[in-house]
Structure 1
Amino acid sequence: MRRSIDFDEDSALNQSFTWDKFMALLNQSKPQIKLLVIGFLISLVSTGFSLVIPLFTKNLVDGFSLKNMNLSFIAIIIFAFLIQALTSAISSYMMGYMGEQTVSNLRELVWHKLVNLKITYFDNHQTGEITSRLVNDTTVVKSLVADQLPSFVSGILSMIGAFVVLFLMDWKLTLVILIAVPIVALLMVPIGNWMRNISIRMQRQTAEFNSTTTQALSESRLIKASDGEQTELTRGDNGIHQLFDTGVAEAKIMAIISPIMLLAMMGILVTVIGYGGVRVQNGTLSIGTLVAFLLYLFQIIAPATQFSQFFTQLQKTKGATARLDDLLEQPVEDLTAGKTVDVAGKTLTVDNVSFSYDKENPVLQNVSFTAHPNSVVAFVGPSGSGKSTLFSLLERFYQPDNGTITIADENINTINLQSWRSQIGYVSQDSAMLVGTIRDNLTYGLTRPVSDDELWHILSLAYADQFVRDTPEALNTQVGERGVKVSGGQRQRLAIARAFLRDPKILMLDEATASLDSQSEEMVQRALNNLMKNRTTLVIAHRLSTIVDADKIFFLEHGEITGHGNHKELLEKHELYRQYVAEQFKQ
Structure 2
Amino acid sequence: MKEKQSGLKPFISLILSTKFPKWPLIIGLIGSIITMLVGLSIPLLTRELVNGFSVESLSVTLIVVIFAVFILQAVVDGVSTYLLAAVGQRIVAKLREMMWFKLIRLPVSYFDKHASGESVSRVVNDTGIVKDLISQHFPQFITGIITIIGAIVILIIMDWKMTILMLIAVPVTFAIMMPLGSRMAKVSKGMQDETATFTGEIQQTLSETRLMKSSTAEKVEEKKGVKGINNLFSYGLKEARIFAFIGPSIYTIMMLVIVAIIGYGGIRVANGSMSTGSLVAFLLYLFQIIYPITSFAMFFTELQKAKGATERIIEILEIEEEPGQGGIDKDIANEAVHVDNISFAYNEEESIIENVSFVAEPGEMIAFAGPSGGGKTTLFGLLERYYEPTDGEIRIGKMPINRLSLASWRSQIGYVSQESAMMAGTIRDNLTYGLRNAENISDNELWKVAEMAYADKFIKTFSKGLDTEVGERGVKLSGGQRQRINIARAFLRDPKILMLDEATASLDSQSEHAVQEALARLMKGRTTFIIAHRLSTIVDADNIIFIEKGEVTGSGSHEQLIETHELYRKFAEQQLK
Identity %: 52
What is residue 306 of structure 2 aligned with on the other side?
Answer: 317
The answer to whether residue 145 in structure 2 is matched with residue 163 in structure 1 is no
Task: Report the alpha carbon displacement of residue 303 of structure 1 after superposing the two structures with TM.
Answer: 2.1
Q: Distance in 2 between matches of 1:168 and 1:414?
A: 74
Asked whether the equivalents of residues 345 and 351 of structure 2 are also in contact (C-alpha less than 8 Å), the reply is yes
The answer to whether residue 513 in structure 2 is matched with residue 513 in structure 1 is no
Q: Distance in 2 between matches of 1:505 and 1:519?
A: 29
Task: Report the alpha carbon displacement of residue 43 of structure 1 after superposing the two structures with TM.
Answer: 2.2
The answer to whether residue 237 in structure 2 is matched with residue 245 in structure 1 is no
Pick the aligned partner of 2:168 from 146, 158, 179: 179
Q: Distance in 1 between matches of 2:146 and 2:182?
A: 26
The answer to whether residue 24 in structure 2 is matched with residue 35 in structure 1 is yes
What is residue 380 of structure 2 aligned with on the other side?
Answer: 391
Pick the aligned partner of 1:217 from 202, 206, 209: 206
Counterparts in 2 of 1:125-524, with a 5 A limit? Answer: 125-333=114-322, 336-448=325-437, 449-524=440-515
**1:450 partner letter:** I
Pick the aligned partner of 2:47 from 58, 64, 74: 58
Deviates more, 1:22-31 or 1:340-349: 22-31
Asked whether the equivalents of residues 355 and 364 of structure 1 are also in contact (C-alpha less than 8 Å), the reply is yes
Task: Report the alpha carbon displacement of residue 578 of structure 1 after superposing the two structures with TM.
Answer: 0.8
Secondary structure at 1:340 match in 2: coil
Using structure 1 for the length normalisation, give the TM-score.
Answer: 0.94
What is residue 82 of structure 1 aligned with on the other side?
Answer: 71
Judged with a 3 Å threshold, the aligned counterparts in structure 2 of structure 1 residues 324 and 336 are, in CA distance, closer, same or farther, namely closer
What is residue 3 of structure 1 aligned with on the other side?
Answer: none
**2:551 partner letter:** E
Asked whether the equivalents of residues 535 and 575 of structure 2 are also in contact (C-alpha less than 8 Å), the reply is yes
Task: Report the alpha carbon displacement of residue 447 of structure 1 after superposing the two structures with TM.
Answer: 1.2
Q: Distance in 1 between matches of 2:126 and 2:356?
A: 43
Q: Distance in 1 between matches of 2:532 and 2:63?
A: 91
Task: Report the alpha carbon displacement of residue 334 of structure 1 after superposing the two structures with TM.
Answer: 5.6
Deviates more, 1:319-328 or 1:351-360: 319-328
Task: Report the alpha carbon displacement of residue 206 of structure 1 after superposing the two structures with TM.
Answer: 1.6
What is residue 553 of structure 1 aligned with on the other side?
Answer: 544
Residue deviations 1:380-407, cap 9 Å, x none?
A: 1111111111111111111111111111
What is residue 4 of structure 1 aligned with on the other side?
Answer: none
What is residue 9 of structure 1 aligned with on the other side?
Answer: none
Task: Report the alpha carbon displacement of residue 282 of structure 1 after superposing the two structures with TM.
Answer: 4.8
Secondary structure at 2:197 match in 1: helix
Secondary structure at 2:104 match in 1: helix
Q: Distance in 2 between matches of 1:48 and 1:480?
A: 57
The answer to whether residue 8 in structure 2 is matched with residue 19 in structure 1 is yes
Can you give the 5+ residue segments of structure 1 that lack an aligned partner in the other structure?
1-11
Task: Report the alpha carbon displacement of residue 533 of structure 1 after superposing the two structures with TM.
Answer: 0.9
Q: Distance in 1 between matches of 2:278 and 2:433?
A: 73
Asked whether the equivalents of residues 367 and 529 of structure 2 are also in contact (C-alpha less than 8 Å), the reply is yes
Asked whether the equivalents of residues 92 and 151 of structure 1 are also in contact (C-alpha less than 8 Å), the reply is no
What is residue 538 of structure 1 aligned with on the other side?
Answer: 529
Secondary structure at 2:498 match in 1: strand
Deviates more, 1:454-463 or 1:236-245: 236-245
Q: Distance in 1 between matches of 2:507 and 2:53?
A: 95
Q: Distance in 2 between matches of 1:225 and 1:85?
A: 59
Task: Report the alpha carbon displacement of residue 370 of structure 1 after superposing the two structures with TM.
Answer: 0.7
User: In angstroms, what is the RMSD of aligned CA positions?
Assistant: 2.0
Pick the aligned partner of 1:566 from 557, 564, 577: 557
Judged with a 3 Å threshold, the aligned counterparts in structure 2 of structure 1 residues 66 and 236 are, in CA distance, closer, same or farther, namely closer
Residue deviations 1:549-583, cap 9 Å, x none?
A: 11111111110111111111111111111111111
Q: Distance in 2 between matches of 1:70 and 1:283?
A: 24
Task: Report the alpha carbon displacement of residue 162 of structure 1 after superposing the two structures with TM.
Answer: 1.1
Q: Distance in 1 between matches of 2:209 and 2:571?
A: 35
Asked whether the equivalents of residues 17 and 322 of structure 1 are also in contact (C-alpha less than 8 Å), the reply is no
Q: Distance in 1 between matches of 2:422 and 2:54?
A: 82
**2:217 partner letter:** G
Asked whether the equivalents of residues 541 and 557 of structure 2 are also in contact (C-alpha less than 8 Å), the reply is yes
Q: Distance in 2 between matches of 1:91 and 1:159?
A: 19
Q: Distance in 2 between matches of 1:87 and 1:363?
A: 66
Q: Distance in 1 between matches of 2:337 and 2:244?
A: 67
Q: Distance in 2 between matches of 1:85 and 1:154?
A: 15
Using structure 2 for the length normalisation, give the TM-score.
Answer: 0.96
Q: Distance in 2 between matches of 1:188 and 1:58?
A: 33
Q: Distance in 1 between matches of 2:6 and 2:374?
A: 43
Asked whether the equivalents of residues 324 and 403 of structure 2 are also in contact (C-alpha less than 8 Å), the reply is no
Residue deviations 1:456-510, cap 9 Å, x none?
A: 1111111111111112221111111111111111111111111111111111111
Counterparts in 2 of 1:100-119, with a 5 A limit? Answer: 100-119=89-108
**1:399 partner letter:** E
**1:492 partner letter:** Q
Q: Distance in 2 between matches of 1:559 and 1:474?
A: 45
Task: Report the alpha carbon displacement of residue 214 of structure 1 after superposing the two structures with TM.
Answer: 1.3
Task: Report the alpha carbon displacement of residue 63 of structure 1 after superposing the two structures with TM.
Answer: 4.4
Q: Distance in 1 between matches of 2:248 and 2:389?
A: 61
Secondary structure at 1:485 match in 2: coil
What is residue 7 of structure 1 aligned with on the other side?
Answer: none
Judged with a 3 Å threshold, the aligned counterparts in structure 2 of structure 1 residues 561 and 280 are, in CA distance, closer, same or farther, namely same
Task: Report the alpha carbon displacement of residue 62 of structure 1 after superposing the two structures with TM.
Answer: 3.5
Task: Report the alpha carbon displacement of residue 337 of structure 1 after superposing the two structures with TM.
Answer: 0.8
Q: Distance in 2 between matches of 1:116 and 1:163?
A: 54
